[in-house]
């Protein structure tokens, strides 16, 4: 059985068994540093991954080496509501990711349909704007893509392309208002320092509609959990768009352009789009009208027990985990121990705001020896919940939010 405590390295020292689903056992503590190369088998075909410690990072699951993409093991989310910077997932799109950044020399250019173009240093942000802090989940659009059925091509993540941090910075709105937004502004186009290796490859550029760009929660962040951002998470500044998928959270933000049209570059269209319907889903093979991906849906995970864990029959075991959504806030978390027939209410942990992970706690007692199916479902402040049963499907593998299942064996 796994320890339930919050000690950072507790219960993580056992080696991964080949074939174990991604979840609890995922090690990655300091103790693991000493170990030789660790492998994990994510629960998908071609899901063998190795662990490696990249600079400023503890050993994480390596999805790809260039551009570097690192996944956070589920066990990390059991340690606390905020994801440590050195365990935070990493995702880049283009192979030229700067490995050396002069934060003092860095400038954010603000231009386009503005009265006064600006060139802002991090010091400008810290000295000349109101400082704001917000807890927010950063989740890749394609988090859990590898679990889609039928499978789809792309970054084959299990559930660890997400993290929660306390971000500090200044409102994008305040910057735009200082520059003075001109009539006809439709979108704000965002670009960071990563560049493609060839001029024929589309640069990674994203755009937000003005109403999103002007939301008061959207900030240009220079601090993550009280520390400068790791380079691989976008040092010295990244955009934080609470509630929305990470594709808009431009890392190493360098260029903010107010435009009078709708950006149609590759990364806005056809990439990062979802079916234009309430479920963001479609039957495999069918064509559907699409819109840019936007607000996150509701998800919840059991973090204290991994799939296949053993518990003692007749004894109460604490079950805990996390839940989050796109900004309405988590109101309820329900646990079922009988495959979804009966649900009981979990206790919610401290509220860090509507955009944060919300921890939840409950107990489970297996009345007798045997197999049990634990399932967790969250409900947000807008009454939205998770997909029960078979997961919804879309061709890019976005927005998975099926009710998660952990099978445990009582002995």
Partner 1 sequence: MKTNVKKIALAVAALGLTACVTPSVADKASITLPQETAHFKQGPGSDVTTIYCTICHTADYVYMQPPQNRAGWEATVTKMRKVMGAPASDADAKIIVDYLMTQNSRQ
Q: List residues binding partner 1 (CB under 8 A).
A: 44-47, 49, 52-56, 62-68, 94-95, 99-104, 122, 126, 131, 146, 151-153, 155-156, 168, 196-202, 222-223, 226-228, 231-232, 235-236, 266
- Do 363 and 318 form a contact (C-beta atoms < 8 A)? yes
Taking the C-alpha atoms of residue 145 and residue 128, their distance in angstroms, rounded to an integer, is: 41
Peptide bond preceding 215: is omega within 30 degrees of 0, i.e. cis?
no
3-state secondary structure (DSSP) of residue 77: helix
For the sheet with 347-348, list strands across it: 299-302, 316-324, 358-365, 347-348
CB of 207 to partner 1, least distance (A): 18
Taking the C-alpha atoms of residue 97 and residue 88, their distance in angstroms, rounded to an integer, is: 17
CB of 123 to partner 1, least distance (A): 8
Q: Select 103 or 308, whichever has its Cβ closest to partner 1.
A: 103
Peptide bond preceding 298: is omega within 30 degrees of 0, i.e. cis?
no
CB of 53 to partner 1, least distance (A): 5
Bridge partners, residue 333, by sequence:
378
CB of 403 to partner 1, least distance (A): 23
Q: Select 126 or 295, whichever has its Cβ closest to partner 1.
A: 126
- Chain-centre distance of CA 332, in angstroms? 21
3-state secondary structure (DSSP) of residue 352: coil
CB of 154 to partner 1, least distance (A): 8
Q: Select 68 or 185, whichever has its Cβ closest to partner 1.
A: 68
Look up residue 148 and give its two tokens.
């889609």
CB of 33 to partner 1, least distance (A): 9
Q: Select 167 or 244, whichever has its Cβ closest to partner 1.
A: 167
φ, ψ (nearest 5 deg) of residue 50:
-105, 160
Containing 299, the helix (H) or strand (E) segment is strand 299-302
Give residues with Cβ within 8 angstroms of 53, minimum separation 6.
33, 59, 60
Q: Select 11 or 155, whichever has its Cβ closest to partner 1.
A: 155
Q: Select 160 or 243, whichever has its Cβ closest to partner 1.
A: 160
CB of 95 to partner 1, least distance (A): 5
Q: Select 65 or 318, whichever has its Cβ closest to partner 1.
A: 65
Taking the C-alpha atoms of residue 134 and residue 217, their distance in angstroms, rounded to an integer, is: 7
CB atoms within 10 A of CB 53: 15
């Amino acid at each position: 059985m796994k320890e339930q405590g919050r000690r950072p390295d507790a219960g993580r020292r056992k080696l991964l068994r080949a074939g174990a689903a991604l979840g609890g056992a995922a090690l990655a503590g300091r103790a693991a540093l000493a170990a030789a190369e660790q492998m994990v088998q994510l629960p998908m075909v071609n899901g063998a991954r190795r662990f490696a410690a990249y600079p400023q990072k503890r050993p994480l699951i390596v999805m790809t080496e260039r551009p570097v993409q690192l996944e956070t093991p589920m066990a990390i989310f059991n340690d606390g509501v905020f994801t440590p910077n050195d365990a935070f997932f990493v995702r880049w799109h283009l192979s030229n990711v700067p490995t050396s950044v002069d934060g003092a020399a860095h400038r954010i250019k603000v231009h386009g349909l503005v009265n006064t173009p600006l060139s802002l240093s991090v010091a400008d942000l810290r000295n000349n704007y109101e400082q704001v802090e917000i807890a927010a989940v950063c989740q890749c659009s394609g988090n859990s893509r590898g679990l889609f059925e039928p499978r789809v091509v792309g970054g084959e993540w299990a559930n660890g392309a997400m993290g929660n941090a306390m971000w500090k910075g200044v409102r994008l709105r305040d910057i735009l208002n200082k520059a003075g937004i001109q009539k006809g502004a439709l979108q704000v186009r965002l670009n960071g320092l990563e560049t493609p290796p060839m001029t024929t490859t589309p640069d990674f550029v994203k755009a937000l509609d003005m109403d999103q760009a002007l939301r008061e929660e959207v900030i240009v962040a220079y601090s993550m959990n009280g520390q400068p951002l790791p380079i691989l998470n976008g040092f010295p500044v990244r955009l934080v768009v609470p509630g929305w998928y990470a594709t808009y959270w431009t890392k190493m933000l360098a260029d903010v352009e107010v435009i009078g049209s709708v950006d149609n570059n590759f990364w806005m269209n056809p990439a990062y789009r979802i079916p234009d319907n309430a479920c963001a889903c479609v039957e495999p093979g069918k064509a559907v009208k699409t819109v840019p991906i936007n607000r996150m849906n509701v998800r919840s995970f059991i973090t204290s027990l991994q799939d296949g864990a053993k518990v003692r029959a007749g004894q109460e075991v604490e079950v805990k985990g996390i839940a989050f959504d796109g900004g309405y806030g988590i109101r309820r978390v329900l646990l079922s121990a009988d495959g979804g027939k009966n649900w009981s209410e979990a206790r919610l942990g401290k509220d860090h705001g509507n955009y944060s992970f919300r921890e939840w706690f409950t107990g489970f007692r297996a009345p007798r020896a045997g197999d049990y199916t634990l399932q967790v479902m969250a409900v947000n402040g807008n009454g939205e919940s998770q997909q029960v049963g078979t997961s919804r499907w879309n061709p890019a593998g976005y927005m998975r939010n099926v009710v998660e299942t952990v099978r445990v064996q009582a002995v």
